[in-house]
Structure 1
Amino acid sequence: MDFSLTAEQQLFRDTLRDFVNKEIRPVAQEWEASGRYPTEIVDGMRELGLFGLTVPEEYGGLGVDMVSFALVFEEISKGWMGIAGILGSHSLACWMINKHGTEEQKARLLPDLATGARRTGIGLTEPGAGTDLQGISTTARLDGDHYVVNGSKTWITNARHADPLPVLVKTDPTARPAHKGMSVLLIDADTPGFTVSRDLPKLGYKGTESCEITLDDVRVPRQNLLGGVEGRGMQQVLSGLEIGRINVAARSLGIAQAAYDEALSYAAQREAFGRPIHDFQAIQLKIAEMAIKVQASRLLVYWAASQADAGHRVDMEAGMAKTFASEAAIECALTSMQVHGGYGYSKEFVVERLYRDAPLMSIGEGTNDIMRTVIAKVLTSGQGVIG
């Protein structure tokens, strides 16, 4: 077994770390506190080609392997998790367009999405439907050569910059089971009736917007039906969420690693009773526990990514990585705060932001309770093997 990165992956990681250290870390605390949009950081990610992570080279993208994909979200989240969110939804939507789109859709959209000239996200969650996507109420009625869309979406990342936004709708609300009547429409930002109504206030995950969207008689050309065939939207979305969970798992790993790094550094500098606090066994136990969780998370994340690279379905692997790493992020953030003592509660220290960012990781791309049911279903079906 070889658990090391390739030389190319190591170089890619070093490039990312240099970018994060120069462009993100110095401004993260100030910009996060003020609510300032990270325009300059987005421009830097464009220059690095990061908006083309899941776009094939033939369309101008990087077309990276999934381990390198995970590295991007790990490294950026170590600097500021909210920035990784800007790339996360965009990359998932690009993957879906490339995997499921028609040749015309791919040729029309992917080149600009790869460079960041266009950005995108994904419209799934509704006020009354999150985990249960079959419970969405947004509908799309065919009227000649257009679909007429009515409904609302919420918690949509990149909503103010997405053009187009892939939106999950019911093209046949009477279908049973419901997923057979669900489709994805690519909705252009300037379409009349498409309104981004407000930014939602959040505990953490700042730097990118999370918005409510209303769709009021939005007319979408029939050619913007993803893949050109109705009734495949649920399958398209679920296949994308496999990759999305690798993204969230890697972001969780980045938070956990950053929490560990902050605790280790602080414990070496802070003194009590005339000695650095890392000399005390109580602190050593906390640092060791964080290190175990960080490294176990890393192995799970890279394993899930490598399985995806091998062409396997990764419902179980991505679910395991996302569940374990997100819970490790929460635990490491709290433990790091405890190592910092009173300073860990101060907004002047990075660990306070990590503590606010971590909980979302156990919710995003499917709650951890849902992940455990997904893992169990794969195992009990005989499709997944452990040991």
Structure 2
Amino acid sequence: MTTQVSDDDFAEILAQTRHFVRSVVMPREQEILATDRVPDDIREQAKSMGLFGYAIPQEWGGLGLDLTQDVELAMELGYTSLAVRSMFGTNNGIAGQVLVGFGTEEQKKQWLAPIASGEVVASFALTEPGAGSNPAGLRTKAVRAGSGDDADWIITGQKRFITNAPIANLFVVFARSRPADDDGPGIAVFLVPADTPGVTVGPKDAKMGQEGAWTADVTFDEVRVPAGALVGGSEDIGYRAAMVSLARGRVHIAALAVGIAQRALDESVTYAATATQGGTPIGDFQLVQAMIADQQTGVSAGRALVRDAARQWVTGEDRRVAPSVAKLFCTEMAGRVADLAVQIHGGSGYMREMPVERIYRDVRLLRLYEGTSEIQRLIIGSNLVKAAKKAQR
């Protein structure tokens, strides 16, 4: 495997990220939770470190990390408030990768450098009230405003739970340009600046967890964009772009889950070693040790699985089943580890000022976005059966 970043350079990037997480962000986790926002100075430091473009190729101003390096970074970023990673997650992930993988040269020149620098926040506008994990159900429509390839497009529809929508400068919008037919699902993807007339961002959502990571509804009311806004210059790119970006993103989310599970485990071990019951540290009790053992086993298995899935993505060996396997296992594992962390902490673990209370709420979302656990199971099972049928022909 060849990468744009050498092992030595990546080790330095990883060390700087770990220092940023442990020394800058962690002391302010309660501030992020209480104010429901990431402080401006933390955002600016993330920009200066290149974190808004770590997965954008170097020719477009990014750091150029491949997915095997991306997951190592994600495991570090997952160790603290997930809102910090969310600030630049769409730039590097599902939104930015649509441009990296499918944009025209002109589109890349216009958008990727400001995305990589953090000057532009890109938002991935796929989910709708009636279309979540399965984009084939999209109702947002895009129609030509005239005849010919140079005609503008008119986009109408509503998107829901769109990450970074309140602060986005650019929406990567998926819309149906024709009914599904034998040629494909008829889903195109467009680049829509947030200040385009007809674009309305709703109030930020009030969520169970992940305070500081903002999502909102976005409405497109006869939004007119030029022909050049069609990603890749083709109506047939949208569905494939969504599927590829989501699959890659699933490996990243799996790594994030490992990072936050490691934090829950570390908090549990520290608490078990210091908290006492009847004068005895609770970590001396075998049932507590058993819970810690289950946490450690899950985290270790998840880390190995994420690294293997990332390797298979980079080599091209498996970009379909392995990402879903990693996301399914790691996000479900993180939920179990967080639950055990609260149990080990007892009543203290239910208190808002405790990190494990926040972690317990934060990890629940990981099993929903980038495709629910149920969707991952369908992807894994259906692809294995298809492969078996094909082998029998």
Task: Give TM-score, length-normalised by structure 1.
Answer: 0.94
Tell whether the 8 Å contact from 1:157 to 1:209 is kept in structure 2 after alignment. yes
Tell whether the 8 Å contact from 2:37 to 2:213 is kept in structure 1 after alignment. no
Q: Given the superposition, is the C-alpha separation of residues 233 and 283 from structure 1 closer, same or farther in structure 2, using an over 3 Å criterion?
A: same
AA matched with 2:118: G
Tell me which residue corresponds to 2:138.
136
Give the C-alpha shift of residue 207 in structure 1: 1.2
Tell whether the 8 Å contact from 1:88 to 1:244 is kept in structure 2 after alignment. no
Q: Given the superposition, is the C-alpha separation of residues 87 and 383 from structure 1 closer, same or farther in structure 2, using an over 3 Å criterion?
A: farther
Tell me which residue corresponds to 1:153.
159
Tell whether the 8 Å contact from 1:120 to 1:161 is kept in structure 2 after alignment. no
Give the C-alpha shift of residue 52 in structure 1: 1.3
Q: Which moved more, 1:260-269 or 1:31-40?
A: 31-40
Percent identity between the aligned chains?
36
> What is the CA–CA distance in structure 2 between the aligned matches of 1:246 and 1:38, rounded to whole Å?
28
- 1:280-359 alignment to 2 at 5 Å? 280-359=285-364
Tell whether the 8 Å contact from 2:102 to 2:237 is kept in structure 1 after alignment. no
Give the C-alpha shift of residue 33 in structure 1: 2.2
- Which ranges of structure 1 fall in alignment gaps of 5 or more residues? none
CA offset digits 1:73-95 (Å, max 9, x no partner): 22112111122222222212111
Tell me which residue corresponds to 1:63.
64
Tell whether the 8 Å contact from 2:38 to 2:83 is kept in structure 1 after alignment. no
Give the C-alpha shift of residue 162 in structure 1: 2.2
Tell me which residue corresponds to 1:200.
205
Give the C-alpha shift of residue 321 in structure 1: 0.8
Task: Give TM-score, length-normalised by structure 2.
Answer: 0.93
Give the C-alpha shift of residue 292 in structure 1: 0.2
Tell whether the 8 Å contact from 2:174 to 2:238 is kept in structure 1 after alignment. yes
Tell me which residue corresponds to 2:99.
97
Give the C-alpha shift of residue 6 in structure 1: 5.0
CA offset digits 1:198-253 (Å, max 9, x no partner): 21110012212110011101001110100001122001110111111012111111
What is the aligned residue count? 379
Tell me which residue corresponds to 2:3.
none
Give the C-alpha shift of residue 100 in structure 1: 0.3
AA matched with 1:287: I
Find 1:125's aligned residue among 105, 124, 127.
127
Q: Alignment RMSD, CA only?
A: 1.7
> What is the CA–CA distance in structure 1 between the aligned matches of 2:121 and 2:325, rounded to whole Å?
29
- Which ranges of structure 2 fall in alignment gaps of 5 or more residues? 1-5
Give the C-alpha shift of residue 101 in structure 1: 0.4
Tell whether the 8 Å contact from 1:268 to 1:276 is kept in structure 2 after alignment. yes
> What is the CA–CA distance in structure 1 between the aligned matches of 2:282 and 2:234, rounded to whole Å?
62
Q: Which moved more, 1:36-45 or 1:290-299?
A: 36-45
Find 1:260's aligned residue among 253, 262, 265.
265
CA offset digits 1:6-55 (Å, max 9, x no partner): 55544332221100012210111222122234322221111111111221
Tell me which residue corresponds to 1:14.
15
> What is the CA–CA distance in structure 2 between the aligned matches of 1:176 and 1:323, rounded to whole Å?
31
Tell me which residue corresponds to 1:250.
255
Determine whether 1:169 maps to 2:175.
yes
Give the C-alpha shift of residue 194 in structure 1: 0.3
Tell me which residue corresponds to 1:116.
118
Consecutive aligned runs of 4 or more in structure 1 exceeding 6 Å deviation: none
> What is the CA–CA distance in structure 2 between the aligned matches of 1:19 and 1:39, rounded to whole Å?
15
Tell me which residue corresponds to 1:375.
380
Determine whether 1:50 maps to 2:51.
yes
Q: Which moved more, 1:189-198 or 1:269-278?
A: 269-278
